Structure 1
């Protein structure tokens, strides 16, 4: 993962944690309501983080698949060139 992406994710997590902690400290509600609110916020943050990570994983998969496709194409071309050279050498040896 790129350093900037990692820092952004860490910043997101730290911000969510700081916001939750601030909410707990200044909450005028009953403990049970505060716990429900915290639980809801944590679930939402977790959902957002999961979605972000899934998007990053999908993007990485696409990039890897593209590299594989390009590499296979290059390998196929190299294989064809080697076959041509071998055939040339075999023909030359027969003459």
Structure 2
């Protein structure tokens, strides 16, 4: 059961990480009109909670690019740690 929960959590973290990458790609592609793009808004909705958590930990609150990069790094580190834990249990 624990292996399933670890796998499910890894899947959620992976989805959030890929959504952050998609958000960055759409920001580059759509430019100034990105708020009009439905896909960009979907990615923004999916990643809002982890980005807010990272922003609350940053000393300067007006750094969305840094918050996005740090959020992706934190998600990647959590994904790797969960993978190591799963291998240890299996």
Provide the TM-score with structure 2 as the length reference: 0.39
Structure with higher RCO (Cα < 8 A, 6+ apart) = 2
Provide the TM-score with structure 1 as the length reference: 0.37
